[in-house]
C-alpha cells in the first residue's frame, strides 16, 4: 500500500473524529510527503493551516489516527510549503532511499500536472463579469491549438483565473489523455530555470527543455511575477516561440494586462497580443450569491440564505476573500456546535471586521442628523411606527447610510431593529427614485448630507 492509500485510511478515521468543517479546512488538505525512520511528514497548504493542524487538540487526534494506521510508534510532523521546499533540497538523497514513497517530490522531468479537482468548469459560476473569459478558456480546452492561441487572461486577485486554468487542465486530462498538459506558476518556471543553470555545470541543460518543450498545452499562471532579469525572459521567449511554432497551445494568466507589465520586454508583449487577451471582472451581486451557494454545497456547509446575502453584499472584489469569510462563519458555527450557520453566527464570527474603520461617518451620526433635521426621536426612527412623519425620515436614513457608508443591507437592517434586507432595499430604492423625480427631496438629501459631513 502506498503512502497516499495509507493516508486515505487515516482520513477515514479522522472524518469521524473531527467536525466536518475542521476536516474540510485543516485535515483533508494535508499532504503526506514522506514516511521513514518512524517519522511521518505532512505538508499543510498554508502557514495558517499548519498552525491549525499543530493545535494540540487537533494534532493529538491526527497523531492517534496516524498511529492506528501505521501500527507502530510514529512521530508526526506537520510543516508548511516553505519548510517542505528546504527539505526538497535533500530530494535526491531522499528519493534514492525511499523510492515510490513520495509523490510530492516526484520526478519533474515527467510532465504531469496535478489539477485541483474542485476547480472544474462545472464549479465555475458564469456571470456577466467572466462569461467571455470562461468561454475563451473553455474553447481552448475543447480545441487546443485550433481556435485561440495564445490565450492571455488577466484580472484582479481572487477572481477565478487559477480556477479556470485548472478547469481547462481537468477537462483536458479527461477528454484528451494523450496530450501532455503542463501547468506551472511563473515562480516554478523561474525556479526550474535557475535550477537548470545550476545543474548545467555538470550535465547539459536538457531537463528544463524536456519539461517545457515537450508539452502540447502549457499554462503559466501569475506571469506578472516574471522577473525583469533578461535570462528568464529570454528563456521564456524561446520556450514560447518553440511551442507556438510547433502549434502547441499556450495559456497565460496574469493580474494585469500585458501593457501594464512594465518589466515585460516588448517582444514578449507583442507575442501575447498575437492571440486573445481577455480580462475578467469582479462578479456582480447575483453571481457572488451563486458562487457562495455553490461553495456551501460543495463543502457541505449548511448556511442560512441571509448569511449568504450578507457576505455577498460585503465582499465585492475578491472571491477568495469572500469564500474565506464563508468558511470562517461556518467554522465558527460548527465550533459552537450548530449544524447550520445563522446571521447571529455570522455577526459573531465577523465582529472584529470593522466596516467603518476608515470612515468618520457612522450610521449613528447619520441617524442623529436626520432626527435633528426632522425633529423626530431616534427611538421612533429605529422603532416600528408606520406613520408618514416617521417612515420618510427612516427611509432617508437607510438611503444615506447605504450611500455614505459601505455596509451590507442586512447590517443596515440590524440597525433598524432587525428589518430584513429586502425591506431595506425597498426603502433605499424608494428614496433614490424620489430624488430623481422630486427636486424637493433632492434638496433635503443634499442639506442633510452637508450637515453630516460638517459634524
Ligand atoms: P485568481 O487566480 O484569479 O487569483 P482563483 O482562481 O484562485 O483566483 O479564485 C479564488 C477562489 O475563488 C477559488 O476558490 C475559486 O474557486 C473561487 N472562484 C472565483 N471565481 C469563481 C466563480 N466564478 N465561480 C466559482 N468559484 C469562483
Ligand atoms: Mg491565481
User: pLDDT tens-digit profile of 20-48?
Assistant: 778 877 888 888 887 776 778 888 877 77
Average pLDDT of the residues in 366-375: 93
Ligand nearest to the CA of 224: 2
Q: How far is the CA of 46 from the centre of ligand 2 (A)?
A: 15
Q: Is the pLDDT of residue 110 over 60?
A: no
Q: Which of 126, 135, 160, 165 to mutate to test the pocket of ligand 1 (most atoms within 8 A of CB)?
A: 160
Give the integer Cα–Cα distance in Å for 138 and 126. 12
Report the atom number in ligand 1 closest to the C-alpha of 166: 6
Helix axes 388-404, 363-374, angle to 10 degrees: 150
Closest ligand 1 atom, residue 253 Cα = 2
Q: Report which bound ligand comes closest to the CA of 163.
A: 1
Whose alpha carbon is nearest atom 18 of ligand 1?
160
Q: Which residues surround the ion ligand 2 when the cut-off is CB under 5 Å?
A: 161-162
Average pLDDT score over residue span 199-223: 83
C-alpha cell at 421: 434586507
DSSP code string of 348-375: HHTTT--TTTT-S--HHHHHHHHHHHHT
Q: What's CA 55's distance to the chain center, in Å?
A: 24
Q: Give the distance (Å) from ligand 2 centre to CA of residue 200.
A: 31
Give the integer Cα–Cα distance in Å for 95 and 139. 39
Instruction: Give the binding-site residues of ligand 1, using a 6 Å CB cut-off.
Output: 119, 123-125, 130, 157-163, 291, 294, 319-320, 323
Higher pLDDT: 154 or 51? It is: 154
Q: What is the mean pLDDT of the chain?
A: 85
Which residue, judged by its Cα, is nearest atom 14 of ligand 1? 320
Rounded to the nearest whole angstrom, what is the distance from the C-alpha of residue 424 to the centroid of ligand 2?
36
Residue 102's pLDDT band (cuts 50, 70, 90):
very low
Decide if pLDDT at 111 tops 70: no
Number of H helices, E strands in the chain: 22, 8
Which ligand is in closest contact with the Cα of 183?
2
Give the pLDDT confidence of 255-267 residue by residue, as tens digits. Answer: 999 988 877 888 8
Q: What pLDDT was estimated at residue 202?
A: 60
**Minimum-distance ligand 1 atom for the alpha carbon of 164:** 6
Top-confidence residue, 188 or 100: 188
Among 111, 116, 217, CA closest to 164: 116
Instruction: State the Cα–Cα distance between residues 64 and 14, nearest whole angstrom.
Output: 9
Supply angle C-alpha 20, 303, 419, rounded to 5: 150
Cα–Cα–Cα angle for 366, 371, 376, rounded to 5 degrees: 160
Q: What ligand 1 atom has the least distance to the C-alpha of 165?
A: 6
Element (H, E) at 77: strand 75-79
| Cα 164 to middle of ligand 1, angstroms | 8
Task: Report pLDDT for 1.
Answer: 65
Residue owning grid cell 436614513:
397
Condensed to tens digits (0 to 9), the pLDDT of residues 322-370 reads 998 899 899 888 888 888 899 988 888 877 665 443 446 788 889 999 9
Higher-confidence position of 49 and 90: 49
**Strand 39-43's sheet: what is its strand order?**
31-36, 39-43, 75-79
Q: Is residue 212 packed enough to be buried (19+ CB in 10 Å), middle (13-18) or exposed (0-12)?
A: buried
Residue 107 CA, ligand 2 centroid: distance in Å:
24
Interhelix angle 56-70/47-54, rounded to 10 degrees, is 80
Give residue 92's pLDDT band: very low, low, confident or very high (50, 70, 90): very low
Closest ligand to 156 CA? 1
Q: Are 287 and 129 in contact (CB under 8 A)?
A: yes
Q: Which band of pLDDT confidence, cut at 50, 70 and 90, is reported for residue 107? A: very low
Instruction: Indicate the pTM of the whole model.
Output: 0.60
Amino acid at each position: 500500500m502506498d503512502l497516499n492509500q495509507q493516508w486515505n485510511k487515516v482520513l477515514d478515521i479522522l472524518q469521524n473524529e473531527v467536525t466536518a468543517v475542521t476536516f474540510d479546512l485543516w485535515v483533508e488538505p494535508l499532504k503526506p510527503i514522506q514516511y521513514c525512520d518512524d517519522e511521518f511528514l505532512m505538508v499543510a497548504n498554508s502557514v495558517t493551516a499548519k498552525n491549525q493542524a499543530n493545535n494540540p487538540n487537533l494534532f493529538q487526534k491526527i497523531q492517534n489516527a496516524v498511529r492506528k494506521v501505521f501500527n507502530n510508534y510514529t512521530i508526526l510532523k506537520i510543516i508548511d510549503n516553505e519548510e517542505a521546499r528546504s527539505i526538497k533540497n535533500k530530494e535526491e538523497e531522499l528519493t534514492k532511499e525511499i523510492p515510490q514513497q513520495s509523490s510530492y517530490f516526484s520526478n519533474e522531468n515527467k510532465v504531469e500536472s496535478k489539477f485541483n479537482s474542485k476547480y472544474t468548469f462545472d464549479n465555475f459560476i458564469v456571470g456577466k463579469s467572466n462569461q467571455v473569459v470562461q468561454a475563451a478558456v473553455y474553447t481552448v480546452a475543447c480545441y487546443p491549438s485550433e481556435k485561440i492561441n495564445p490565450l492571455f487572461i488577466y484580472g484582479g486577485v481572487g477572481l477565478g483565473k487559477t480556477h479556470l486554468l485548472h478547469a481547462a487542465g481537468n477537462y483536458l486530462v479527461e477528454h484528451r489523455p494523450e496530450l501532455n498538459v503542463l501547468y506551472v506558476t511563473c515562480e516554478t518556471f523561474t525556479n526550474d530555470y535557475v535550477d537548470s543553470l545550476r545543474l548545467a555545470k555538470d550535465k547539459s541543460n536538457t531537463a528544463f527543455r524536456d519539461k517545457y518543450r515537450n508539452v502540447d498545452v502549457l499554462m503559466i499562471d501569475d506571469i506578472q511575477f516574471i522577473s525583469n532579469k533578461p535570462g528568464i525572459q529570454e528563456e521564456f521567449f524561446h520556450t514560447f516561440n518553440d511551442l507556438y511554432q510547433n502549434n502547441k497551445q499556450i495559456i497565460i494568466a496574469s493580474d494585469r494586462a500585458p501593457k501594464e507589465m512594465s518589466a515585460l520586454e516588448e517582444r514578449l508583449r507583442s507575442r501575447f497580443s498575437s492571440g486573445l487577451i481577455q480580462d475578467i471582472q469582479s462578479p456582480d451581486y447575483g453571481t457572488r450569491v451563486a458562487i457562495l451557494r455553490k461553495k456551501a454545497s460543495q463543502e457541505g456547509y449548511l448556511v442560512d440564505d441571509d448569511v449568504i446575502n450578507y457576505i455577498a453584499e460585503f465582499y465585492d472584489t475578491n472571491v477568495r476573500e469572500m469564500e474565506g469569510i464563508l468558511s470562517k462563519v461556518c467554522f465558527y458555527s460548527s465550533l459552537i456546535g450548530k449544524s447550520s450557520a445563522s446571521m447571529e453566527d455570522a455577526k459573531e464570527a465577523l465582529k472584529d471586521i470593522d466596516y467603518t474603520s476608515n470612515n468618520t461617518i457612522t450610521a449613528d451620526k447619520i441617524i442623529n442628523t436626520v432626527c435633528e433635521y426632522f425633529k423626530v426621536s431616534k427611538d421612533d426612527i429605529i422603532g416600528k411606527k408606520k406613520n408618514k412623519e416617521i417612515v420618510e425620515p427612516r427611509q432617508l436614513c437607510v438611503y444615506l447610510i447605504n450611500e455614505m457608508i459601505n455596509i451590507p443591507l442586512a447590517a443596515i437592517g440590524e440597525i433598524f431593529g432587525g428589518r430584513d434586507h429586502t425591506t431595506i432595499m425597498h426603502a433605499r430604492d424608494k428614496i433614490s427614485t424620489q430624488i430623481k423625480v422630486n427636486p424637493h427631496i433632492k434638496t433635503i438629501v443634499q442639506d442633510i448630507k452637508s450637515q453630516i459631513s460638517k459634524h
